[in-house]
Chains A and B, each alone.
Chain A
Amino acid sequence: MAILDALALLGRTFLKFLEATGRLALFVGRALSRAWRPPFYFRAVGQQMIDIGYYSLPIVGLTAIFAGMVLALQSNIGLARFEAESQIPEIIAFSITRELGPVLAGLMVAGRIGASMAAEIGTMRVTEQIDALVTLATDPFKYLVFPRLLAGIVTLPLLVLVADVIGIFGGFVVSVQSFEFNPANFISKVWDYLVIDDVIDGMVKSSVFGFIVTLMGCYQGFYSRGGAEGVGRATTNAVVTASILILVADYFLSALMFN
C-alpha cells in the first residue's frame, strides 16, 4: 500500500508539473503573440527599463565589485600552487564576463525585480485591477506583461556590461593593493586576453536571465489568488523559481556555448 501511495504522489506531482509547464507556455505564447498588434506601450517599456537597469545599478555594482575582489584573493591562493599567479588578470576577466557577472546580476535582479513585479501584478490581480484593465478594452498581456519581458531581455545585458567592468575593477584593486601587481601590466593583460566572445556569451546568457526573471514575476503575480497572503506567496515563488531557473539555464547555456 505504501508503495502505491508513493507512486500516486509521484504521479500527482508529475501531473501538476506538466500542468504548470503548460500554463506557463500558454502564458508566454499569449504575451508574445499579441505583442505585434498595436497599440504599443513604449512608455511602459521605458519605465520598466529604468526600473530594471538604472535602479539595480547600486546593488549589482556592489555585488560585482566584491565578487571581483574575492575572485582575486581566491585565484591568488589557487594559482600560487602552480606558481601561476601572473595569470590572475586572465582568470578574473574570464570568470567575471562569462559566469559571475551574468549569474550574480541575474540573481540580484531576481530578488529585486522578480519580487516587486510579482507583488505589483499580484496586487493588481487580487484588487480586480487586471479585470478593470480588461473592461477598459486593454489587454493586460500587452499592457503589463510584454513591456516587462521586453525590458528584462534588453536591459539585463546592459546591466551585466556595467557589472563586468566593475567586477574586473574589484579584482584589479585587490591585485594591485595586496599582490603588488603592476597596474598597467594588469590592464594590458586583461585587454589582451579578453575575448569579445566571452563578453557576448555573457550578455546572451543575461538576456535569457532577464527573460526568466520578468517572466516569473509576471506569471506568479498574474495567477496569484487569495488576498495579501496569496500575493506574498506569489512573490516568494517568483524569486525562488527565477533563481533556480537561472542556475539551470546557466548550465545548459554554458554547455551549449562551449561547443
Chain B
Amino acid sequence: MTSAPPKIQIRNLHKAFGSNRVLQGLDLDIEVGESVVIIGGSGTGKSVLLKCILGLLTPDQGSIKVDGVEVVRMKENEREELLRQFGMLFQGGALFDSLRVWENVAFGLIQAHGMARKEAKKVALEKLASVGLDARVAELNPAELSGGMKKRVGLARAIAGSPNIIFFDEPTTGLDPIMGSIIDRLIVHCVKELQVTALSITHDMASARRIADRMAMLYEGKIIWDGPVADIDKADNPYVDQFIRGKAEGPIKMQVRQP
C-alpha cells in the first residue's frame, strides 16, 4: 500500500438527466503522473464524467476526490483555486470566438495567473508552435480556422497554464493521421516529462494505445474493465473485445435499425 492518495479518486458516481441515467455508480482511480484513457461507445457519458470532475455538472450522488480532497459541491473560491491546476480540452473546442487565437491560448495565463499580456503572448506562440500552428494563425479569429486547427488551438489553450492534471476530450478527432501522432507525442511528453496526470477520452484505438498507461472502458454508467494498456488485447471481457475490434456483432447492442 503506497502512502500517496490517488490524484483523482472517484467513488459510486451517479448522474442522471431526467430519466436518462448516464452514470450509475462509477468508480475510478488515477495515480499521480499516470495517463488514463477512457473508451466507450458514443453517448455513454464520457464527456459527462469529465464535466463532473471539473465541477461543470454536479453529480447526483457519489464522491470525487482530487489529491484526497472532496471536490463535489466545493465552495466557489476553492474550486477556482483547484481549476488553476487543471487544463481542459473540450470536445467541440469551445474557443472564445470574440478573441483571436493567441488571446484564446493566453487567456488563462492573463486572467487566472496574472501574467502580463506581452509575456503571455510569447508563451501562447510557443504553445501554438508545439501543436504545429504558426504566428500567422495566432492572429486569426477562431471562425477562420478549420476543424482540426480549432482542436489544436484548444489543446494549446489546455496546456498553456502548465496544469497538473489535463483532461482531453477526443484530442485527435478530426486530425489527419500524421498530426494525430504528433499530438499523441505531445500528450506523452506532457505526462512523462512534465509529470502531469492525464485523463483522456478517445475513440481512436491507435491513439489510445500510444498515449495510455491504462485504459478504462465505460459501459452503462460503470467502468466495466480497466487495466494496463498491454493487457487490453488479452482482456477476458466480451464488451472490451467487441469495442477494440470494432465488431458490429457482440454483447454491445447499438440502437440502430438494420437495413
Question: Interface of A with B (CB < 8 Å)?
Answer: 34, 39, 120, 123-124, 127-129, 131-139, 143
Contacts and interface: CB of A to CB of B under 8 A. Distances in A.
B96 A129 contact: yes
A27 to B, nearest CB: 15
A137 B112 contact: yes
Contact of A131 (B56, B84, B95, B98): B56
A127 B97 CA distance: 10
Contacts of B80: 137, 139
B54 to A, nearest CB: 6
A120 B97 CA distance: 10
A43 to B, nearest CB: 11
Interface of A, secondary structure class, is helix
Interface in B84-126: 84, 86-88, 90, 92, 94-98, 107-108, 111-112, 114
* Most interface-central of A34, A120, A132, A134 (chain B CB within 10 A): A132
13 contacts: A120-B98, A128-B92, A128-B94, A129-B97, A131-B54, A131-B94, A132-B95, A133-B96, A134-B83, A136-B107, A137-B81, A137-B108, A139-B76
B94 A138 contact: no
B7 interface: no
B26 to A, nearest CB: 20
Contacts of A135: 54, 56, 83, 86-88
Interface in B129-175: 157, 161
A138 B111 contact: yes
B92 A127 contact: yes
Given A39-B111, A138-B107, A132 B84 contact: no
Interface residues of B, number: 26
B83 A136 contact: yes
* Most interface-central of A34, A120, A124, A135 (chain B CB within 10 A): A135
Nearest to A38: B114
Interface string B34-75: 000000000000000001001110000000000000000000
B75 to A, nearest CB: 13
A133 B80 CA distance: 11
Nearest to A30: B76
A223 B207 CA distance: 36
A128 B90 contact: yes
Contacts of A34: 76
A118 to B, nearest CB: 15
A34 B90 CA distance: 26
A129 B92 CA distance: 10
Contacts of B54: 131, 134-135
Nearest to B82: A137
A130 B130 CA distance: 26
A226 to B, nearest CB: 13
A17 to B, nearest CB: 22
A127 B112 contact: no
Nearest to A141: B76
B218 to A, nearest CB: 20
Contacts of B112: 136-138
Contacts of A39: 111, 114
Contacts of B56: 131, 134-135
A132 B54 CA distance: 10
B168 to A, nearest CB: 12
A34 B84 CA distance: 18
Nearest to A123: B97
Contacts of B98: 120
Q: Which 9 pairs show the lowest CB-CB distances between chains A and B?
A: A137-B112, A128-B94, A132-B94, A136-B108, A135-B88, A137-B83, A138-B111, A137-B84, A131-B56
* Most interface-central of A34, A127, A136 (chain B CB within 10 A): A136
Nearest to A126: B92
A63 to B, nearest CB: 28
Contacts of B96: 124, 129, 132-133
Given A123-B97, A131-B90, 17 more contacts: A34-B76, A39-B114, A124-B96, A128-B92, A132-B88, A132-B90, A132-B95, A135-B54, A135-B56, A135-B83, A135-B86, A135-B87, A136-B83, A137-B80, A139-B76, A139-B80, A143-B111
B83 A129 contact: no
Contacts of B55: 134
A137 B108 CA distance: 7
A215 to B, nearest CB: 20
A138 B110 CA distance: 10
Nearest to A128: B94
Nearest to A142: B111
A39 B81 CA distance: 14
Contacts of B88: 132, 135
B93 to A, nearest CB: 8
